[in-house]
Structure 1
């Protein structure tokens, strides 16, 4: 059985138990109420009988007489209502009726009557004096009546016993119970049907979620369920839609990265194949003396350059993986970066001149930086070299200045710039903003990814602003020692 139906049955069992307990309680209170009403009615009959039939002599208040004719008339009237009565005198003797044997009132009840208490009795049986057969069970009240003289003294003069058949009372109680049971049964059936409809509706919504889950398990991430934001199932549906959206984005990202990886592998294979082919051809030429003596030195230099190119390609991949795995250890210290900037410009000057570019250095006489010296140089070198590669007949400017507890370095160029789409992807591994131009320089697409990771390792930030054909500006912020410690997770 499904959980939702189990909960429905449990809920119905609780409701049914409550209804049964309420029914039992109501039945008992109804029975008590019917008996109380019956006794109240019988007490009124007793009062009426005393007023009609009991006479106290005015000359001698100890002489009490009973009007038999009046009692007989009352008996005929009350028999039609299934009510019977008996009159006792002050000596516990039956005065009326005289044709039926009735036992005396027992001593315990008589004492109560003498104290003025009304006695209620249930299921007492009378015996007919003529045939000795017991009469049906009755419920009776015994009510005492007193005469009060001028001195305020009270004296018991009579006891009236009035009773009604219990069978008649039980008939009324059973009729009330029947009237109670019918609506209880009907309301229980209605509650069961309503609970079943609610359970079926909830189960239908859960099954919709299950079917959608199976679709996702088969690889369909385009599933989207409608929700009305009404209850917990709708909340679960919202969470499911959010999960599907995340899975869809992850799938797209995986595809995106896989395409990058394939592109990188193809580029890497091409980059490696070209220098390896060159080296292999030169080695064969040297082995078979196919290269003139005057060209051997140039051939060796060419092989050295191609070997360095391969080493750089491999090192960049290893470097990136080590940085991502947090396996590198930064030896951060405070130093003057002016010499580093000057040396960097001297190293890249020849490459800039080859592109008809001008390198400008705008730094104060002294600029303090808190960083790992080698990694700092690597960051600035990669960005500046990248600017030279994408700038022809332009200017690359390196600017450094102090901020509030930080050092700010800006590297600007007047090159080809980048679009918004390119800016959104430049920090990703294997990404090349301009593959056709990169192919010319043999770039792997890892330089800026390495820069981004290294800046984060320093607890700093790096931002890029660029527009197509208007150049690009990289802004790198290196926090001071105190501020750097506050950003260990960056």
Structure 2
């Protein structure tokens, strides 16, 4: 059995073979059914009709020699053996095989004869090596059984019935078998080829070759599986490229602060730094260490958000109060940059959210607005929508080029192609913010025009109170 289980092609052949065997067995039993229903019933019907026609010549009274002679003459011309006797017991002398009268006609059957009903009998006869079909027709005169007409004929075996076309059937069966093998081979190959291609392609994908594609245009389940495989291969390729890019970005982000820390610390360790410059070098080392710390924290946040195990502690939150509290830390820096803040908050909006994570989202977006706005205005508005609520943060900063809007939420993406860190963070803030908003059942939208400012909308579901 293991031999058939290690290959789909073998399973298909086993299924086809089983179907053919079942068909042959079914045809065999069906042929016997037709034999019984058609041939035997037709013989019985013919005997009854023949016996009833002969019985029409009986005019009543004792059986005459003239009637007996007529029946004997008819029997000599017919394929059916026909006897006419006055008493059923006389049949034992007429029939060419031994017969028991009690077996021939039972008491119940005799009652049928007395009621004018014919009796049909089928039994195996060793002399003929086959079954015998017999019909007994009563000859009545005023409810008296004056005699019977006994007709019998050996039933042909089914092999004899099919003799004429047995050879033709055998030839046709061989031709059918050859055609079935040929077409079955083509069918099995056609069905299994895409699966074999997928097996080989999966091996190549597992080795890192994502360019492989399954060419299958069929609309059946195998074609759908092939298209799903191609989509999976493309997704894995994109994910692999994203991971490589992610690692390259992490390495790039860490390389500069590490080089600063190493360079400044080497200078301090070697003693080449003058005493009055030591504090300056220590400040630079502290700044770069803080940048690395923020990057590591952001990476840990992303790792947690990407895993299914990340859980948030959601509670009912008055969103207006949360926004006002989050803005307090930015008042001093906005004053230094000459940035004015305008608030329009609906105090009745309550959401079901994680307070710390919602505050983190607000901080990431407000940080960007302040960082890229000098001597301008930040307008923060919160209002109800059909599907929940919207937090809109609009600034009059430098804006984002149109070609960068689709990429702005990607990890490590910076609009500043020079990748300087004095005017930017880790490049992960918006990616983290979008993840957190999505986990709260909302979405994050960004619209901007270069030189005119940026609008960020945070859409969140609300609690119905």
TM-score, reference length from structure 2: 0.71
SS at 1:159 equivalent: strand
Question: 1:411/1:337 Cα in 2 relative to 1: closer, same or farther (>3 Å)?
Answer: same
Give 5+ residue unaligned stretches, structure 2.
5-9, 305-309
2:291 to 309, 312, 318: 312
Which of 335, 349, 359 is 2:339 aligned to? Answer: 359
2:411 corresponds to? 429
- Paired residues of 1:396 and 1:413 also in contact (CA < 8 A): yes
Query: What is aligned with 1:347?
Result: 333
The question of 1:243 aligning with 2:224 is answered no
Judge conservation of contact 1:337–1:367 (CA < 8 Å) in 2.
no
Post-superposition CA distance 1:373-426 (Å, at most 9, x none) = 8877765554454345556xx544222234238573414133151334x32333
1:207-261 C-alpha deviation (Å, 9 max, x unpaired)? 32222231232125431333433xxxx2243133123313312321321231232
Match of 1:474 among 435, 456, 460: 456
Q: 1:175 to 1:245 in 2, by over 3 A?
A: same
Instruction: Report what 1:131 is aligned to.
Output: none
Alpha-carbon distance in 1 for matches of 2:99, 2:138? 14
Counterpart for residue 10 of structure 1: 18
Number of equivalenced pairs = 430
CA spacing shift, 1:277–1:13, aligned 2, 3 Å: same
Q: Is the alpha carbon distance of 1:86 and 1:475 closer, same or farther for their aligned partners in structure 2, counting shifts above 3 Å?
A: closer
The reply on whether 1:79 has 2:72 as its aligned counterpart is no
1:271-350 matches, within 5 Å, as 271-282=257-268, 284=270, 287=271, 291=274, 296=276, 298-322=277-301, 324-325=303-304, 326=310, 335=321, 338=324, 341=327, 343-350=329-336
Structure 1 residues 311 and 139, CA gap change in structure 2 (3 angstroms) = closer
Question: Which of these residues, 184, 200, 215, is aligned with residue 201 of structure 2?
Answer: 215
Equivalents in 1 of 2:80, 2:116: separation in Å?
Answer: 23
Residue 412 of structure 1 contacts residue 472 of structure 1 at CA under 8 Å; is this kept in 2? Answer: yes
* CA-to-aligned-CA distance 1:424-443 (integer Å, 9 cap, x gap): 33333322232305355474
Residue 339 of structure 2 aligns to a residue whose secondary structure is strand
- Greater Cα radius of gyration, structure 1 or 2: 1
Q: Label 1:309 to 1:80 Cα distance change in 2 as closer, same or farther (>3 A).
A: same
CA distance in 1, matches of 2:173, 2:436: 72
Do the aligned partners of residues 348 and 165 (structure 1) sit closer, same or farther apart at CA in structure 2, a change above 3 Å counting? Answer: closer
**Distance across 1 between alignment mates of 2:13 and 2:257:** 66
Q: 1:165 to 1:264 in 2, by over 3 A?
A: closer
What is the deviation of 1:340?
A: 5.4
Residue 448 to residue 306, structure 1, CA distance change in 2 (3 Å): farther
Contact 2:87-2:148 at 8 Å conserved across structures: no
Q: Distance in 1 between matches of 2:136 and 2:30?
A: 34
After superposition, the Cα gap between the structure-2 partners of 1:41 and 1:401, relative to the gap in structure 1 and judged at 3 Å, is same
* In 2: Cα distance, 1:75 partner to 1:331 partner: 110
Q: Deviations over 1:51-85 (max 9, x none)?
A: 6xx8x7xxxxxxx68455x8657645642435665
TM-score by length of 1: 0.68
SS at match of 1:403: strand
SS of match in other structure, 1:22: helix
Match of 2:147 among 136, 145, 159: 159
1:123 to 1:378, Cα distance in 2 relative to 1, 3 A: closer
Residue pair 1:92, 1:104 contacting (<8 A) in 2 also: no
Relative distance call for 1:183 and 1:466 in structure 2 (3 A) is farther
Structure 1, unaligned runs of 5 or more: 57-63, 126-133, 149-153, 353-357
- State the SS of the aligned residue for 2:426: coil
- Deviations, residues 24-74 of structure 1 (Å, cap 9, x unaligned): 1222332343144235324434544x46xx8x7xxxxxxx68455x86576
One of 367, 378, 399 as aligned partner of 1:398: 378
What is the CA-CA distance between 1:159 and the residue it aligns to? 2.5
Cα separation, 1, equivalents of 2:138 and 2:356: 119
Native 8 Å contact 1:408 1:475 kept in 2: yes
Instruction: Give the structure 2 partner of residue 224 of structure 1.
Output: 214
- Cα distance, 1:76–1:428 mapped onto 2, change above 3 Å: same
Whole-angstrom distance in 1 between the partners of 2:361 and 2:226: 43
SS of residue paired to 2:156: helix
Residue in 2 aligned with 1:28? 36
Whole-Å separation in 1 of the counterparts to 2:359 and 2:89? 127
